[in-house]
Structure 1
Amino acid sequence: MTIYRIGIIGAGAIGQLIFQQISTSKPRLSQRLLVQLISREPESVPQTLRFTDINQQQQHEVVDVLGVHSPEIAKLDVIIVCVKAYQVEALINELLPNLAPNCHIILLHNGMGPHIHLAQKLLAYPQMGLSLATTSQGALRSAKWHIAHTGIGQTIIGHYSGITLKQPLKNILLKAIPNASWHDQILSALWQKLVINCAINPLTAFYQCRNGQLANDEYKAEIKQIIAECINVAAADNVELEMLACHELVYKVIALTSNNLSSMYQDIYHQRQTEIDYISGYIVARGRHHQIAVKANNINLERIKSLEAQISH
C-alpha cells in the first residue's frame, strides 16, 4: 500500500478548511493518506479543531497540529502553503532545509509575487516542484481553532516550475477539494483572480463598504480603469485577458458576494497588515517594470498604505 503524506501550513480559515476537506476524503483502496495541519509555532501541540460545514453541521476532532520544526515535516510528499502573501518568503526560508528533497510545494494565497522569488530559490532544489492555486471557497474563523465553511467556490491548481506534481497526488487533491480542477494555464487563472482582487479589495477597504456597494454607478469609472490597467500589464507579461470578460467577472463576483466584507476590509478593520503589496502593488511593480502607467492601481496602493500607516501608529 502506498502512503501519501500531505501537509497544510497556515492554520487560518482557508488552511483549516483545506485540511478538513483533504483529511476527510477517502483515498483509493491501494492508497493510504496522512494529512497534517502545520501551524507557524515552533513545536507540535494537540488541538481540538471545530468545524461547521456548509450545511451548518458541526463536528470536532483532536489533532496534533505540527510545529515548523517537527521532524514529521521531512516526510511530506506535498505541502500546501496557506499563509498571507507577505508571510510566504520567510516561511519558505525556514521550511526548505527541513523538507524532503522531492517535496512538492503548492502556494495558495491572495495576490501574486511570491512565486517568482520561490521559483528562483527552487533552482537549487532540482527534485522539487512548484504549483500555484487559487480558491473562491468561503471560510470564516470565529475562534482560533473553529472555522465555518461559508461559501461553495472553485479551486484551481496548476504547475508553475520544477518537477510536476505526481499524478496520484494530483488525483487525491482534485477528488478531496470540492469543485477543484487542474489548469494548465495557471498564470492566466491567477491573473483573473488578481483583477477581481484589484477591483474589489482596496475599494471596499478604503470606502469601508460591503462588496455589493461597488455595483453602484459612482464606482464604475474607477473599476473600469483598474481593470484596463491590469489587462495592459498582464499583456506585457504575456498573459492575454479580455476586457469584457474581466468586466463581467468582476461584477459577477460583486453580485455573488454582495453581503461579504472583503479580506482587505477586514484586515483594516482589525488593524492587521493587508496584502496590498501583492494585489495593487503587484500591478504597480510590473507596470513600472514594463513602463506602463497604472494610475488607478497606484492610487489604491497609496490609499491602503496610508491606512496601514495609521494602524502602525
Structure 2
Amino acid sequence: MSIGIIGAGAIGQLLFAQLNTGTSNAHKIHLISRSPQSFIQPMSFTGLDNNTQHGSVEILGQDAAEIAQLDLLIVCVKAYQVVETITPVIDRLKPNCQIMLLHNGMGPHRNVAELLQHYPDMGLSLATTSQGALKNAPWNVSHTGNGKTLIGHYCGQPLAEHFKSFLLEQIPNATWHANITTALWQKLVINCAINPLTAFYQCKNGQLAEACYQTEILTIIEECITVAKLDGIDLTNVDMVTMVDEVIHFTANNTSSMLQDINHQRPTEIAYISGYVVARAQYHGIQTPANLTCLQRIQALEH
C-alpha cells in the first residue's frame, strides 16, 4: 500500500508518525508538501510518553512521481485549502485512488464529491479527530492528548477493507463510523458553540461555562440542530448540549484554534463552521441569526 498525507501541519505530521509506527515495507507512507520538488527533512516527533524520535524523511514535492502510485491520499489541510490542494494533483492520481478529508468544519466534502463525479473509480472518505497535536517548530510535533478519530465512507467507491483495517490499527482510538456525516455534524455543532465565541470574547474554552454565555450557546446549538434536521441529520438538543458542556469542561485550559488564528492574524475556518450552518440554512430558506452573528464577528476580526 502507498499512502500519501498532504498537509504537514500538526495533525498531518501526527498521522505520519502513527501510520509509520511498526509498519512493514509493504506499507509506504509519504508526507507531501506544497513545494514542487522533493527534499530530505530532519523531523522530530514526541509521543504521549515524552519520548522523542528524531529522523530524516523524504518529503515529496508536488511533481514527485510517487504521487501517481498512491492508493490513498489523506488531505490534512485547512478547510479553505482543500479544493485548491486536491485540484492540481487529482489528474495524476491512480484511477482508483481513495481520497480522505480530515479538517475542521464542513463544506469541502461537497466540492470534492463534485470533482469525483469525473473519476468513477475513486472514492471519498471523511474523518474527524479530537487527538491533540502541537507544532513546536515547522518539523517538530508533539502528541499532546488522546482523542477519538472517526472515519467513514461518503461517496464513490468504498474504502477497501485492508485500508480500513490498517488505519484503525495504526491510529489510536480510531473507529469506523457507518454514518460519518452525523459524526461530522456533531463535531460542527461543538465547533460552532465554542470556537467563534472564544475568538470573539478572547477567552479560553473553560470561560464559556460561565452563566453569561449560556443563552448564546444554547441558541447556536438549537439553530444547528434545526439546519441539520433539514439536511437529514437527526441530533437531539439534550445530547448536543451535553457534548458541548463536556468539551468546554475537558478542554477548559485550551486556547481554541480559531482564537489562535485570530491572535496570529491568520485566516480562520469560520466560513466552514458557522458559515456552513448559515449557508445550509439559506439553502433551506430559513434564518440562523446567532450563527450569522458569529460568522460576521469573526470575519470582521479577520479584516
Q: Same fold (TM over 0.5)?
A: yes
1:18 is aligned to 2:15:
yes
1:101 is aligned to 2:98:
no
Q: What do residues 204-258 of structure 1 show as CA deviations (whole Å, max 9, x unaligned)? A: 1111111111111110000000000000000000000010000000010111111
1:262 is aligned to 2:256:
yes
Q: Normalising by structure 1, report the TM-score.
A: 0.96
Q: What do residues 90-131 of structure 1 show as CA deviations (whole Å, max 9, x unaligned)? A: 111111011111100000000000000111110110110000
Structure 1 distance, partners of 2:35, 2:254, is 30
Runs in 1 of length 4+ with deviation above 2 angstroms? Answer: none
Aligned residues: 303
Q: Which residue of 2 aligns with 1:178?
A: 172
For structure 2, the 5+ residue unaligned runs are none
- Equivalent of residue 80 in structure 2, options 83, 86, 100: 86
Q: Which residue of 2 aligns with 1:197?
A: 191
Q: Which residue of 2 aligns with 1:7?
A: 4
Matched letter for residue 168 of structure 1? H
Structure 2 distance, partners of 1:254, 1:52, is 26
Q: Secondary structure at the match of 2:152?
A: strand
In percent, how many aligned pairs have the same letter? 56
Q: Give me the CA root mean square deviation.
A: 0.8
Structure 2 distance, partners of 1:293, 1:233, is 9
Q: Secondary structure at the match of 1:32?
A: coil
Kindly report which structure 2 residues correspond to 1:274-285, keeping only aligned pairs within 5 A, or say none.
274-285=268-279
Q: Normalising by structure 2, report the TM-score.
A: 0.99
Residue 292 (structure 1) shift:
1.7
Residue 291 (structure 1) shift:
1.3
Matched letter for residue 203 of structure 2? C
1:70 is aligned to 2:64:
yes
1:234 is aligned to 2:228:
yes
Q: Which residue of 1 aligns with 2:26?
A: 32
Q: Secondary structure at the match of 2:55?
A: strand
Q: Which residue of 2 aligns with 1:137?
A: 131
Q: What do residues 62-85 of structure 1 show as CA deviations (whole Å, max 9, x unaligned)? A: 000111221101101001000000
Matched letter for residue 240 of structure 1? D
Matched letter for residue 8 of structure 2? A
For structure 1, the 5+ residue unaligned runs are none
Q: What do residues 45-76 of structure 1 show as CA deviations (whole Å, max 9, x unaligned)? A: 11111111112111111000111221101101
Residue 26 (structure 1) shift:
3.5
